[in-house]
């Protein structure tokens, strides 16, 4: 008995010793990866080389795709910035979301802000020990209250708080956390001073350097290539004297450069340069292989008149719910985990990012969401991938309320005071042939679902309205 007791005490002492020395008896979990989500603004599906762009050069984005996985059917949260970004951050689509439009298109002009009860991906990742930062266009703090990025799980913020602030590339100020940082050398009208996205990149590099030792989540929403169309001359240089048609621009709210085609190409190329700088920094800091980098766009293109084929093979663009307005470029790179050069036809959307990040971090979403993690697809395990039964979008600007639902190959679009449209994307990805007359049962099913799944919101009814300011 004494011998057993001694062994027992020795075992307990050894266990305590191992515990206090940090050598736990249980297997140590793998190191959590850093996560960087780079979001372009109004970048079309066809604006990048890995999706077929030939006029604009995007070597760093193409390398990202060559070293990672591209999704061919990835959808934005909406066809306009605010609600799209809200879906990305909360995992909830516009049938149920707090933010379904921009503030000026709400019924009473109330700020379209995230609420304190909204749980963002940053809040989820903080629970898992991540340091979190947002650098660039936030656009979800129109009222200056609950939508503040620091109130939504981010440890650090630098950039534009509102979407209108982000309309200009040489702003008079930017925000650092809750402080307004004046930029006295900047002049929007004359386009002099510091180009805002150059500052975002510098801040992003600093954030990576400061947090290289701990898992971090960096949300990096650039404002390129959104109007206004302006970029420093060095980014336009490669496109001079190519015989392109000029596209004269009218200066009003936006202080465009004289030639829109040159400016647009230069803006996409400058975005590409920033991505290259980010990737170089990850290698320099020795964290390249433990960092998942994702790049996408908040909605379809808002500028192209067909010269660049910015929407690729798809119909429509920004503010529309045809594929060109919501199907966006998507590439993910994580060396040693994601197969290089992989292509996926898995249908996914912005609201899937939150559960994906949670799965990576080893936590479960706090509240019910609409998203499904696409981590199995990224890791090359398609048999483990759950699929969506449907996708839902709505937008209510200019053309009146529009709803769209995707169920398998069937895409239904309900436009204000217009006949219902039905397309089979498997046979007609360009949405050229309306099949609603041939398939009334499918139309009825989708229309019924649109009504059932949507929750009412006092500021975002499905009624025709004009912008309030």
Query: Domain with 172 in it: what CATH number?
Result: 3.40.720.10
* Span 56-63, average pLDDT: 98
Rounded distance between C-alpha atoms, residue 222 and residue 159, angstroms? 9
Rounded distance between C-alpha atoms, residue 171 and residue 174, angstroms? 7
Residue 377 falls inside a structural domain:
yes
pLDDT at 30 (0 to 100)? 64
Same domain, 238 and 329: yes
Is residue 3 very low, low, confident or very high in pLDDT (cuts 50, 70, 90)? very low
Is residue 64 very low, low, confident or very high in pLDDT (cuts 50, 70, 90)? very high
Residue 7 falls inside a structural domain:
no
Residue 414 falls inside a structural domain:
yes
> Between the CA of residue 260 and those of 229, 243, 356, what are the distances in Å?
6, 14, 38
Is residue 468 very low, low, confident or very high in pLDDT (cuts 50, 70, 90)? confident
Same domain, 225 and 265: yes
Question: What CATH number corresponds to the domain at position 440?
Answer: 3.30.1120.10
- The residue out of 388, 407, 435 marking a domain boundary is 388
Rounded distance between C-alpha atoms, residue 225 and residue 39, angstroms? 11
- Residue 106, pLDDT > 50, answer yes
pLDDT at 44 (0 to 100)? 98
Same domain, 116 and 230: yes
- Residue 463, pLDDT > 90, answer yes
* Domains contained in the chain, number: 2
- The residue out of 345, 370, 388 marking a domain boundary is 388
Residue 112 falls inside a structural domain:
yes
Helix (H) or strand (E) holding 403: strand 401-407
Is residue 7 very low, low, confident or very high in pLDDT (cuts 50, 70, 90)? very low
- Residue 273, pLDDT > 90, answer yes
Is residue 399 very low, low, confident or very high in pLDDT (cuts 50, 70, 90)? confident
* Span 170-194, average pLDDT: 96
pLDDT at 24 (0 to 100)? 32
Supply the range of the domain harboring residue 109. 34-388
Same domain, 338 and 448: no
* Span 381-405, average pLDDT: 96
Is residue 26 very low, low, confident or very high in pLDDT (cuts 50, 70, 90)? very low
Same domain, 40 and 187: yes
Segment 359-388, tens digit of pLDDT: 999 999 999 999 999 999 999 999 999 999
Phi, psi of 333 (to 5 degrees): -130, 130
* CA dihedral (243, 249, 254, 255) positive or negative: positive
Q: Are strands 391-396 and 348-349 parallel, antiparallel or unpaired?
A: unpaired
Q: What is the mean pLDDT of the chain?
A: 93
Same domain, 180 and 66: yes
Residue 373 falls inside a structural domain:
yes
Same domain, 415 and 384: no
- Residue 12, pLDDT > 60, answer no
Rounded distance between C-alpha atoms, residue 369 and residue 361, angstroms? 17
Residue with tokens 């379209």: 112
pTM, to two decimals: 0.93
- The residue out of 335, 367, 388 marking a domain boundary is 388
- Residue 124, pLDDT > 50, answer yes
pLDDT at 467 (0 to 100)? 84
Same domain, 403 and 291: no
Rounded distance between C-alpha atoms, residue 92 and residue 453, angstroms? 12
Same domain, 297 and 433: no
SS3 content of the chain, % helix, strand, coil (to 5): 30, 15, 50
- Residue 19, pLDDT > 80, answer no
pLDDT at 331 (0 to 100)? 98
Is residue 465 very low, low, confident or very high in pLDDT (cuts 50, 70, 90)? confident
Same domain, 114 and 80: yes
More confident residue, 168 or 30: 168
- Residue 290, pLDDT > 70, answer yes
Same domain, 198 and 117: yes
Residue 384 falls inside a structural domain:
yes
Which positions ≥6 away from 304 have C-beta within 8 Å?
44, 47, 264, 310, 311, 317
Same domain, 421 and 349: no
Residue 138 falls inside a structural domain:
yes
Segment 240-260, tens digit of pLDDT: 999 999 999 999 999 999 999
* Span 6-33, average pLDDT: 42
């Amino acid at each position: 008995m004494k011998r057993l007791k001694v062994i027992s005490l020795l075992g307990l002492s050894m266990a305590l010793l191992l515990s206090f020395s940090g050598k736990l008896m249980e297997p140590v979990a793998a190191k959590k990866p850093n996560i960087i989500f780079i979001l372009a603004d109004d970048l079309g599906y066809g604006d990048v080389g890995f999706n077929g762009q030939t006029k604009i050069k995007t070597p760093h984005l193409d390398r990202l795709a060559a070293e990672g996985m591209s999704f061919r059917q990835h959808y934005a949260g909406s066809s306009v910035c605010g609600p799209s970004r809200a879906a990305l951050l909360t995992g909830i689509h516009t049938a149920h979301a707090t933010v379904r439009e921009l503030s000026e298109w709400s019924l009473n002009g109330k700020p379209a802000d995230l609420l304190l009860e909204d749980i963002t991906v940053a809040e989820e990742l903080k629970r898992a020990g991540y340091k979190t930062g947002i650098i660039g266009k936030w656009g979800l703090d129109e009222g200056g209250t609950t939508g503040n990025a620091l109130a939504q799980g981010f440890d650090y913020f630098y950039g534009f708080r509102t979407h209108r602030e982000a309309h200009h590339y040489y702003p008079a100020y930017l925000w650092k956390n809750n402080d307004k940082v004046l930029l006295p050398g900047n002049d929007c009208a004359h386009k002099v001073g510091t180009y805002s996205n150059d500052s975002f990149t510098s801040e992003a590099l600093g954030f990576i350097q400061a947090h290289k030792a701990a898992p971090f989540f960096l949300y990096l929403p650039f404002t390129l290539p959104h109007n206004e169309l302006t970029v420093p001359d060095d980014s336009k240089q490669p496109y001079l004297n190519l015989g392109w048609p000029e596209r004269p621009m009218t200066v009003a709210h936006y202080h465009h450069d004289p030639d829109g085609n040159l400016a647009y190409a230069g803006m996409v190329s400058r975005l590409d340069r920033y991505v290259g700088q980010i990737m170089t920094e990850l290698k320099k800091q020795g964290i390249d292989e433990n960092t998942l980098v994702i790049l996408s766009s908040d909605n379809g293109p808002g500028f192209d008149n067909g010269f660049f084929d910015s929407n690729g093979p798809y119909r429509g663009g920004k503010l529309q719910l045809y594929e060109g307005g919501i199907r966006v470029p998507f590439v993910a790179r994580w060396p040693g985990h994601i197969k290089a050069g992989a292509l996926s036809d898995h249908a996914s959307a912005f609201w899937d990012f939150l559960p994906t990040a949670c799965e990576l971090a080893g936590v479960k979403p706090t509240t019910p969401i609409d998203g499904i993690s696409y981590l199995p697809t990224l890791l090359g395990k398609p048999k483990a991938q759950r699929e969506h039964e449907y996708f839902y979008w709505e937008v209510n600007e200019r053309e009146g309320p529009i709803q769209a639902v995707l169920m398998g190959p069937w895409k239904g679009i309900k436009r204000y005071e217009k006949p219902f449209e039905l397309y089979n994307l498997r046979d007609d990805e360009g949405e050229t042939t309306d099949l609603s007359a041939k398939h009334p049962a499918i139309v009825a099913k989708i229309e019924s679902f649109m009504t059932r799944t949507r929750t009412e919101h006092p500021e975002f009814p499905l009624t025709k309205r004009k912008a309030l300011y």
